[in-house]
Amino acid sequence: MKNLILMYKKFFADKSALRLAFFALLMLSLSLIINFYAGNYASIRQSNYVTDIILSNTRAFDVDVLFIYSTMLLLFGVLIYCLKNPFQMPYIVKSIALFVIIRCMFIVLTHIWPYPIVAPVDTTVIFFSIFSHFSFTGDLFFSGHTGLPFLMALIFWKNRYLRYLTLAVTLFFATIVLLGHLHYSIDVLSAFFISYGIYNMSITFFSKDKKHFDASFGDVSI
């Protein structure tokens, strides 16, 4: 706790870090607004469903509990990490915001109807009712549940513990969304390649944030 307090004192005394944090939160807020309108547009314009080599040959499993609460744990875990490591937060948050914005670009281009046989998701769960404002039936390509943890894996690659943890989460979500028929297989597979591209873009676009991230990553607090 003392180390965390000292870190925050140092953080609030660093005007450059505060400025980066402010713009990171601003960018994230903007990305969520864009996501809302892009998701609504894609859902209104969605057309027919398509066949899928995996979904067409497997039944839909009930992954309701795993899907909802695992998503909650993932987002909560990223939030806690950022709060415990404020100097790393701007780069992480901006990378997530870039991820959301680029995903919005994809979902407004293609409007495929979800696969007809889908595992039911309990919309009465409080968390899901909040999450539903940022997730829509037409925002399938590409899988955010697969891409986001993989992006985190790339960001935390130098930390072996965090790398393996986020990679495990990535594979877990990829499996869950396919078992529940919540995404087409191409949504999941493409997420790895697109997220890798987003990671490299973040290094270029957010070089100052990346320097702050790298400078404090050796003192990571999990």
The pTM for the full model equals 0.89
- Residue 155's nearest CA partner among 196, 123, 110, 122 is 196
- Residue 169's nearest CA partner among 188, 187, 153 is 153
pLDDT of residue 87: 94
> pLDDT tens across 11-36, in order?
889 999 999 999 999 999 999 999 99
pLDDT-derived band at 222 (thresholds 50, 70, 90) equals very low
Work out the average pLDDT over 163-191: 95
pLDDT-derived band at 190 (thresholds 50, 70, 90) equals very high
Q: Who has greater pLDDT, 154 or 39?
A: 154
pLDDT at 122 over 80: no
pLDDT of residue 137: 65
pLDDT at 219 over 80: no
Give the CB-side neighbour count of residue 12, counting CA atoms within 13 A.
Answer: 5
Q: Can you tell me the distance from the alpha carbon of 146 to that of 143, in angstroms, rounded to the nearest whole number?
A: 5
Domain boundaries of the chain, sorted by first residue: 2-217
> pLDDT tens across 36-59, in order?
999 888 888 888 888 899 999 988
pLDDT of residue 127: 54
pLDDT at 111 over 90: no
Q: Using an 8 Å Cβ cutoff, are 141 and 106 in contact?
A: yes
Distances from the Cα of 107 to the Cα of 34, 38, 81, 173, 175, angstroms: 11, 7, 29, 19, 21
DSSP characters for 54-122? TGGGSPPP--HHHHHHHHHHHHHHHHHHHHH-TTTHHHHHHHHHHHHHHHHHHHTT--PPPPSS-----
Q: Using an 8 Å Cβ cutoff, are 184 and 112 in contact?
A: yes
**Residue 218 CB contacts under 8 Å (≥ 6 apart), including other chains:** none
% of the chain with per-residue pLDDT over 90: 61
For the chain, the average pLDDT equals 88
Q: Can you tell me the distance from the alpha carbon of 126 to that of 146, in angstroms, rounded to the nearest whole number?
A: 23
pLDDT of residue 221: 47
pLDDT at 203 over 70: yes
